[in-house]
């Protein structure tokens, strides 16, 4: 194969996973990666734990520094370089060196767009105040941590009860703040069902978080130094020394749109299972791109690190001349709030209903370990299955230590199109310090048969 | 269906699971269960933790007492009743009431043999000494606990480095004893591969267990009161105040053999997937019966509680007139020694070799959580896969908290005949407090591709 020049737009975890794979497959090709920020390959998911102090330094979140890519892998990574324009016709990008304030043109044979996603920031009065943070970049995480150190906030308000909201509620509570969490929905964790999220809410309240559901942000008020003072909702005014906004992310697709590349679900870049965009020679992977959902059997947008990594690996192999496919996602996700582990995969009951599946759903209560074992804890498992076939469509788990990762067993079962009886039949591991004789996952399946 | 009379021989977990299922399916049938011991439905796997004191009372290990079966489920359970003979031709059993020392005959339309297994006890000099215990029954566990309380043993010798050996090493070490563990093999946990068990041995030694591998028990010496004094091996003499023997179990099949019922693998009762024995109307389930191994594709004997439960449920349904099959086992098992979790499923490398599979095998080192997360620990994952297809044949895991239950994901994958690429593609859960971005299971699969 003739040597090619590859340009990667965005040198975070996704882009650099692809670039690294490409380098292993094609030792001679020229690979250039442009990153408008100052960091490469960092673990965005670790930011709440960095702010908590569990992760001591932000350096710990950086998997590999630019100089390592340059020196060890011969990948020409350029941080503080923003790609301004993708020129499809001439196979070029226009790039700005942000430090030197210079623009230049770089040509490519194949282009990978790995521009990631950004936090959705509500367009309300006061949103630009000091002390309001989102946490989609390491820079922003570090800013939030610095702000806490400098200002010693006592009263924290979190807007949004999703993954970031829960993780930051834990973090700020652990740092001794008075934490209020506001969500406009009637439940936390909107991708899960309310019978499950109600038990999360109950636990969070018992731990001291003030929850305000069915409450909508209206605007923010600031003091004279433009520092956040209050969060005003449609119901009341909350005093706030710091605000965390975690209401979701949107794919970064401005460049792709201007280049005429087709968007898809949730306005993410449309890709096929090879990670090809609508334009030949242009690929996309990570938070900016779509995925195929194995149960929904349609395109979705799942901006998670696991998906980004898998997509990027597939993109790297295919750009290098390989021919593999990324089969798709289940929307598997996990988080915790203090001692409560929370996980989901596949369809929630709500989603099954919205997608007109004929389904049955059931939630069971069991224990994480043998009921007589001293460190055992409560666990709830909810399964959603197709009505006649019994095929597993989705699952949700909340419970104490050891509960969450059980979602992987169900993710494997869904991937393999197993039904309820198959789950019951599975030879899962048992010993009193690990599980009841029937794993709670199987107890749920049995209850539905 | 005409009403039937069912006799169950053995009223422990297996027998009573079947009887309970049968009762739910057939509310009118007569069900009699004979148990020669004094307990029904107890959790034998919990005995080491009962001796350790983690489980406070032996009552906690009893899932359901005879009177509950009798009163709530109308199952005629008779403890201290030993079945002496099965008469196939006349469909009768001869039973002895052990308390009254009376024998009687009971007829049956269908018979379930659930006689369980017994510890293998080496036939050596001194084996009947006071202070030598095996732990296959609640009675024996209670005896061992009483002996410890009365005699305050300082020096413990464990014969056998399998599951019971490891669990009792933990228990006795935690109780402050000086613990030696002797095994005639060159490794612990003979169902696993030595590269994995070496790391278990290393950990156990660091925690203070004295390991003597490649060392064979010769006989025991006792004092004048016939209390254990020393364990004599082919290499040396070990002082011992208490001895635990955990060198395996054998199926209890005397009754079946005398009745002319066919035995199979490891001299367990031969059964088909419906749990029928070679004699029409006679069923068997639990530790006394065979299973089908899904990877080996042949009959095996896996005397574990999970298998016994599944078999018994299938037997109960089929005796009641149902028609389901128990597809089979993978030999999935899990245990721990202090902070080290140990799990296996499917074939070890050794087994794959012995069965002439064409295979590849690899062991990877990773972390249980994100490497930067503070409570992360080491984990080793070994995968065995078919050479050309990449189909997963087996796995072994050792590692810190959260390591062991990951075996279930692989058990699901093996059940579904997944290959290495399927494992990599799976949408498993990730967040820093739970896993690296690529779960260690996937890291192992990637390393083999």
Secondary structure of residue B261 in the 3-state scheme: coil
For A412, the token pair is 């494997």
Question: pLDDT tier at A59 (50, 70, 90 boundaries)?
Answer: confident
Average pLDDT over chain A, rounded to an integer: 96
Q: What number is the average pLDDT over the span B171-196?
A: 97
Residue B1 has pLDDT above 80, yes or no: no
Instruction: Please name the residues in contact with A142: beta carbons below 8 A apart, sequence gap of 6 or more.
Output: A50, A58
Task: Work out the minimum CA distance from B91 to partner chain A, whole angstroms.
Answer: 32
Q: What angle do CA A405, A190, A247 make, to 5 degrees?
A: 105
The residues with which B68 forms a beta bridge, in sequence order, are: none
Name which of A117, A63, A373, A376 is nearest A269 in CA terms: A117
Contacts of B304 in chain A (CB under 8 A): 430
| B422 contacts A411? CB cut-off 8 A | no
Residues of chain B positioned with their CB less than 8 A from the CB of A45 = 370, 430-432, 437
B288 labelled catalytic: no
Of B304, B408, B427, the CB nearest to A439: B408
Residue A407: both structure tokens together: 């979602």
Tell me which residue in A55, A412, A427 faces B409 most closely, judged by beta carbons.
Answer: A412
B300 has a pLDDT exceeding 80: yes
pTM score, whole prediction:
0.96
Indicate which residue of B43, B45, B79, B294 is catalytic. Answer: B45
Region A157-174: mean pLDDT is 96
Q: How many CB atoms lie within 10 A of CB A359?
A: 19
pLDDT (0 to 100) of residue A343 = 98
Contact, A98 vs A241, CB < 8 A?
no
Whether residue B379 has pLDDT greater than 90: yes
Query: How many angstroms separate the CA of residue A324 from the nearest CA in chain B?
Result: 10
Q: Does residue B252 come out as left (phi exceeding 0), alpha (psi in the -120 to 50 range) or beta?
A: beta
Looking at residue A316, what is its pLDDT?
97
Model confidence band, residue A64 (pLDDT cutoffs 50, 70, 90): confident
**Under 8 Å CB-to-CB from B44, ≥6 apart: which residues?**
B12, B13, B135, B136, B137, B138, B305
The one catalytic residue in A45, A68, A127, A424 is A45
Q: Which chain A residues are Cβ-neighbours of B328 within 8 angstroms? A: 427
Residue whose tokens read 């309001």: A132
Instruction: Tell me the mean pLDDT in the region A363-378.
Output: 95
- Closest-CA distance, A242 to chain B, in angstroms, reads 24
The whole-angstrom separation of Cα B244 and Cα B165 is 8
Q: How far is B73 from chain A (nearest CA, A)?
A: 19
- Exposure b/e, A92-116, CB count within 10 A at least 16 = b: bbebbeeeeeeeeebebebbbbbbb
Residue A62: band (very low, low, confident or very high) from pLDDT cuts 50, 70, 90: confident
Q: Tell me, what DSSP letter sits at residue B57?
A: -
Q: Is the pLDDT of residue A42 over 90?
A: no
Grade residue B58 by pLDDT with cuts at 50, 70 and 90: confident
Q: Of B372, B118, B296, which is closest to residue A57 (Cα–Cα)?
A: B372
* The pLDDT value given to residue A173: 97
Q: Do A332 and B402 touch (CB under 8 A)?
A: no
Buried b (16+ CB within 10 A) or exposed e, A148-162: beeeebebbbbbbbb
Where do we find the tokens 């460190």? Answer: A375
Q: What band does B356 get if pLDDT is binned at 50, 70 and 90?
A: very high
Q: Which residue has the higher pLDDT, A427 or B58?
A: A427
Strand A217-222 versus strand A228-233 pairing type: antiparallel
Q: Which residues in A lie closer than 8 A to residue B433 (C-beta atoms)? A: 49, 336
Dihedral sign for Cα A6, A9, A10, A15, please. Answer: negative
* pLDDT of A13 strictly over 90: no
Over residues A256-268, the pLDDT tens digits come to: 999 999 999 999 9
Strand pairing category for B5-9 and B237-239: unpaired
Q: What are phi and psi of B94, to 5 degrees?
A: -100, 130
The whole-angstrom separation of Cα A8 and Cα A31 is 8
| Cβ proximity of A143 and A126 under 8 Å | no
Query: A55, B373: Cβ pair inside 8 Å?
Result: yes
The band of B41, judged by pLDDT with boundaries at 50, 70 and 90, is confident
Q: So what's the pLDDT on residue A119?
A: 92
Angle between helices B13-25 and B66-73 (to 10 degrees): 0
The pair of structure tokens assigned to B50 is: 């009962």
Q: List CB contacts (< 8 A) between B438 and chain A.
A: 306, 309
Please say if the pLDDT value at position B286 is more than 90: yes
Share of chain A above pLDDT 90, in %: 92
Grade residue B201 by pLDDT with cuts at 50, 70 and 90.
very high
Among A405-409, B66-70, B81-85, B193-197, the range scoring the smallest mean pLDDT is: B66-70
- What average pLDDT does range B147-165 have in this prediction? 97
Whole-angstrom Cα distance, residue B64 to residue A437? 15
- Rounded distance between C-alpha atoms, residue A381 and residue A75, angstroms: 46
Q: Which of B3, B2, B21 is nearest to B283 (CA)?
A: B21
In whole angstroms, what is the distance from residue B402 CA to residue A400 CA? Answer: 12
Q: What percent of chain A has pLDDT over 70?
A: 100
Which residues, in sequence order, are bridge partners of residue B379? Answer: B366, B399
Name the CA dihedral angle for B31, B37, B39, B41, rounded to a multiple of 10 degrees.
Answer: -60
Contact between A49 and B432 using a beta-carbon 8 Å cutoff: yes
pLDDT mean over A388-409 = 98
User: For the purposes of burial, counting CB atoms within 10 Å of the CB of A297, is it exposed (0-12), middle (13-18) or buried (19 or more)?
Assistant: exposed
Calpha distance A165→A159 (Å, rounded): 7
Quick check: B430 and A335 CB within 8 A?
Answer: no
Closest Cα of chain B to A144: distance in Å? 19
Instruction: Say how far apart CA B138 and CA B50 lie, in whole Å.
Output: 10
Half-sphere exposure of A392 (CA within 13 A, CB side): 31
Listed residue (A105, A109, A107) closest to A97, CA to CA: A105
Q: Summarize the confidence of residues B405-431 as an average pLDDT.
A: 98
Pairing type for strands A30-35 and A178-182 reads unpaired
pLDDT of B56 strictly over 90: no
The pLDDT value recorded for residue A56 is 87
| Whole-number pLDDT of residue B59 | 87
Q: Which residues of B touch A425 (CB under 8 A)?
A: 310, 326-327, 415
Asked whether the beta carbons of residue A405 and residue B405 sit closer than 8 angstroms, the reply is yes
Nearest by CB to B429, from A370, A404, A425: name it: A404
Interface test with A, best of B332, B377, B432 (most A CBs within 10 A): B432
Predicted local confidence at residue B116, as pLDDT: 95
């Amino acid at each position: 194969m003739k040597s090619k020049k590859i340009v990667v737009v965005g040198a975070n975890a996704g882009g650099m996973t692809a670039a690294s794979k490409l380098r292993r497959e094609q030792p001679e090709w020229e690979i250039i990666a442009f990153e408008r920020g100052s960091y490469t390959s960092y673990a965005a998911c670790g930011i709440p734990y960095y702010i908590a102090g569990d992760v001591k330094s932000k350096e710990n979140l950086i998997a590999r520094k630019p100089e390592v890519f340059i020196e060890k892998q011969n990948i020409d990574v350029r941080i503080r370089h923003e790609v301004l324009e993708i020129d499809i016709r001439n196979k070029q990008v226009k790039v700005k060196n942000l430090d030197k304030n210079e623009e230049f043109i770089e040509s490519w044979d194949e282009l990978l767009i790995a521009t990631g996603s950004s936090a959705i920031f509500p367009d309300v009065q006061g949103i630009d105040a000091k002390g309001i943070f989102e946490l989609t970049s390491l820079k922003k995480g570090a800013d939030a941590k610095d702000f806490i150190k400098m200002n010693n906030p006592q009263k924290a308000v979190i807007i949004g009860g999703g993954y970031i909201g829960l993780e930051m509620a834990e973090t700020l509570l652990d740092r001794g703040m008075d934490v209020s969490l506001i969500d406009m929905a009637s439940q936390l964790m909107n991708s899960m069902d309310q019978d499950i999220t109600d038990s999360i809410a109950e636990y969070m309240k018992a731990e001291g978080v003030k929850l305000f559901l069915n409450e909508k942000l209206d605007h923010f008020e600031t003091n004279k130094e433009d520092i956040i003072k209050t969060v005003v909702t449609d119901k009341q005014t909350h005093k706030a020394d710091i605000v965390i906004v975690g209401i979701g992310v949107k794919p970064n697709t401005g460049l792709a749109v201007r280049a005429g590349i087709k968007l898809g679900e949730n306005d993410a870049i449309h890709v096929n299972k090879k990670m090809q965009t609508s334009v030949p020679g242009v690929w996309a992977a990570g938070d900016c791109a779509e995925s195929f959902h194995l149960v929904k059997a349609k395109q979705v947008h799942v901006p998670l690190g696991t998906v980004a990594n898998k997509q990027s690996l597939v993109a790297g192999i295919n750009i290098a001349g390989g021919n593999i496919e990324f089969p798709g996602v289940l929307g598997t996700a996990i988080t915790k709030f203090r001692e409560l582990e929370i996980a989901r995969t596949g369809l929630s009951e709500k989603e099954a209903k919205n997608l007109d599946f004929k389904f049955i759903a059931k939630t069971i209560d069991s224990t994480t370990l043998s009921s007589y074992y001293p460190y055992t804890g409560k666990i709830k498992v909810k399964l959603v299955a197709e009505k006649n076939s019994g095929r597993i469509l989705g699952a949700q788990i909340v419970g104490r230590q050891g509960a969450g990762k059980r979602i992987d067993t169900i993710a494997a079962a869904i991937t393999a199109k197993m039904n309820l009886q198959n789950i019951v039949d599975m030879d899962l591991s048992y010993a009193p310090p690990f599980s009841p004789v029937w794993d709670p996952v199987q107890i749920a399946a049995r209850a539905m048969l």
